[in-house]
Structure 1
Amino acid sequence: MLKEERFRLILDRLVHDQKVYLAGLSTLLNVSEDTIRRDIKELAEQGLLKSVRGGAVPHSPGPHRFKDRILHDTEQKQIIAKKALEFLKDDQVVIFDGGTSAVLVAQLLPKDVHLTVVTNSFPVATLLEEHEHVEVLFAGGRLLKNSFVTIGNDTIQFLKKFRADICLLGICSIHAELGVTSPNFEESEVKRVMIESSKEIIALATVEKLETAEAYYVCPTDRLSVIITDQLAEDEAFKVYTELGIKMA
């Protein structure tokens, strides 16, 4: 079998099963595990999947630049943002990260709500400027230009000062076994501190980001309190998360 044929079959199986294993592919394609390992390495270098111990999982789909992400899956993110509003109550302290779904929550936030918002997102801070009853505490630091968020030690030290009621966490990739991951190391560090500084973690993710993985670890999946997606919460595909004690919304 030609290498290109193996690549196509590996990617097809990954779409179908959401995870592939070296041993299973070796049997299916009648080649050695070393050959499969090299194939997966090459596909990973092309950005077509994420290599993990013993096999591979899908990469998170969609663009990584904020200007591109804000225009991607807009209808689905509107659904997510409207669901997220139901979890916000007067007098809460809420951490907003820089994900585009979190930005849409800020955009839809009622003008009469009373909140304290902690954020490292320039778009979130800008959108909340006209909310008379929302106090905005902005985490300074170094600007990550393609995401319009602050990162680095100053940002992290600022976020460590809080014990927020809720963290609205934009998710790039989440996998039941591999946890929450990010394509950017410094953003993953900031997200980790946001989680440590919050009682309840509400993850915002379009369904296509579930069971995918990126390079940098953020937290175990069961650290999430709620996962809000653009699909019905009763979807059978979510069973793997509800079994971890996570509420789906």
Structure 2
Amino acid sequence: MLTSERKALIQEVLRRDGRLVAKSFAQQLGLSEDTIRRDLRELAGEGLLQRVHGGALPASPAVADFSVRAEAGSAVKQALGRAGARLIQPGQIVFLDGGTTNVQLARALPPDIKLTVVTHSPSIAVELTRHPLVEVELIGGRLFKHSVVTLGSASAEAIARIRVDLYFMGVTGLHPETGATTGDGEEAAHKRLISRQSAETIVLAAGEKLGAASPYAIVPLAEITTLVTEAGLPPETLSPLRAAGLDIVEG
């Protein structure tokens, strides 16, 4: 079998099964495990899968720049934003992570709602200027342009001093094995810190992020309270997440 044929088959298995075990896959093809691992390394280098111990998982497609992501899947993101906004009660203290879906959540907040929003996203802060009764606490630091959020020691110190009712966490992947993941290690550390400062952690994620993984772990699924995702997804996509204890809201 040609290398290109093996790689195409690997991607087909990942799409079908949601994971690939290198040892059993090599045995099925009558090839050495080293050969399959080499294929996995090369495919991972091209961003086509995420390697994990013993095999691979589908790679998250949510890796484009912020401006590109803002234009993609806008109808789904608007629906998720509306569903997420309905989970917020007046008077709460809410942390809104960066990300294009959370921008839609900010837009969907009722114009007369009174609450406090903490964020390290300038995009979120600007969006909330349209809500006169929402107090906004903007956390400063070094701007991470990919996600348009602040990172660094100043940001982490400010986050460590707050306690919030709800944290709407942005992710690039959500998988039963790897939990919530993202593409940058420092950003993952900040998300993990915010989650630990929150009574509840909520994830808004389109179907393309479910069953996918990125290089840096944030938290396991057990530390996420609620998943808000799009309606009409196949039961086999949602059942492993429900089994892990997630409350799932379809937007």
TM above 0.5: yes
Please report how far the alpha carbon of residue 232 of structure 1 lies from its aligned counterpart in structure 2 after TM superposition: 4.3
**Structure 1 residue runs without a partner (length 5+):** none
CA contact (8 A) 2:62 2:172 kept: no
CA RMSD of aligned residues (A): 1.3
2:225 maps to 1:235 = no
Please report how far the alpha carbon of residue 181 of structure 1 lies from its aligned counterpart in structure 2 after TM superposition: 0.9
1:18 counterpart residue number: 18
Residues in 2 aligned to 1:105 and 1:16: alpha-carbon distance in whole angstroms:
32
CA contact (8 A) 1:6 1:29 kept: no
**Structure 2 residue runs without a partner (length 5+):** none
Residues in 2 aligned to 1:175 and 1:165: alpha-carbon distance in whole angstroms:
25
Stretch deviating more after TM superposition (25-34 or 219-228) = 25-34
Please report how far the alpha carbon of residue 234 of structure 1 lies from its aligned counterpart in structure 2 after TM superposition: 8.5
CA contact (8 A) 1:151 1:187 kept: yes
CA contact (8 A) 1:62 1:72 kept: no
Residues in 2 aligned to 1:10 and 1:233: alpha-carbon distance in whole angstroms:
24
Secondary structure at the aligned position of 1:126 is classed as helix
Residues in 1 aligned to 2:209 and 2:67: alpha-carbon distance in whole angstroms:
19
Stretch deviating more after TM superposition (113-122 or 143-152) = 143-152
Residues in 1 aligned to 2:200 and 2:210: alpha-carbon distance in whole angstroms:
20
1:151 counterpart residue number: 151
CA contact (8 A) 1:159 1:193 kept: yes
CA contact (8 A) 2:85 2:106 kept: no
Moved >6 Å (runs of 4+): none
Please report how far the alpha carbon of residue 215 of structure 1 lies from its aligned counterpart in structure 2 after TM superposition: 1.0
Residues in 2 aligned to 1:88 and 1:38: alpha-carbon distance in whole angstroms:
47
Residues in 2 aligned to 1:197 and 1:208: alpha-carbon distance in whole angstroms:
28
Please report how far the alpha carbon of residue 69 of structure 1 lies from its aligned counterpart in structure 2 after TM superposition: 0.8
Residues 86-124 of structure 1 deviation map (CA, whole Å, 9 limit, x = unaligned): 101100000000011111100111110011000000110
1:115 counterpart residue number: 115
Change (3 A) 1:117 1:96: same
Please report how far the alpha carbon of residue 235 of structure 1 lies from its aligned counterpart in structure 2 after TM superposition: 3.3
Residues in 2 aligned to 1:62 and 1:192: alpha-carbon distance in whole angstroms:
19
- TM-score normalised by L of structure 1: 0.96
1:131 counterpart residue number: 131
1:70 counterpart residue number: 70
Residues in 2 aligned to 1:93 and 1:242: alpha-carbon distance in whole angstroms:
27
2:45 counterpart residue number: 45
Stretch deviating more after TM superposition (177-186 or 90-99) = 177-186
Residues 17-50 of structure 1 deviation map (CA, whole Å, 9 limit, x = unaligned): 1100012211222101111111101111111111
Identical residues among aligned pairs (%): 37
Residues 179-230 of structure 1 deviation map (CA, whole Å, 9 limit, x = unaligned): 1111011211111111011001110100110111111111111111000001
1:96 counterpart residue number: 96
CA contact (8 A) 2:169 2:203 kept: yes
Residues in 1 aligned to 2:148 and 2:13: alpha-carbon distance in whole angstroms:
36
2:189 maps to 1:189 = yes
- TM-score normalised by L of structure 2: 0.96
CA contact (8 A) 1:117 1:136 kept: yes
Residues in 2 aligned to 1:173 and 1:75: alpha-carbon distance in whole angstroms:
20
Secondary structure at the aligned position of 1:245 is classed as coil
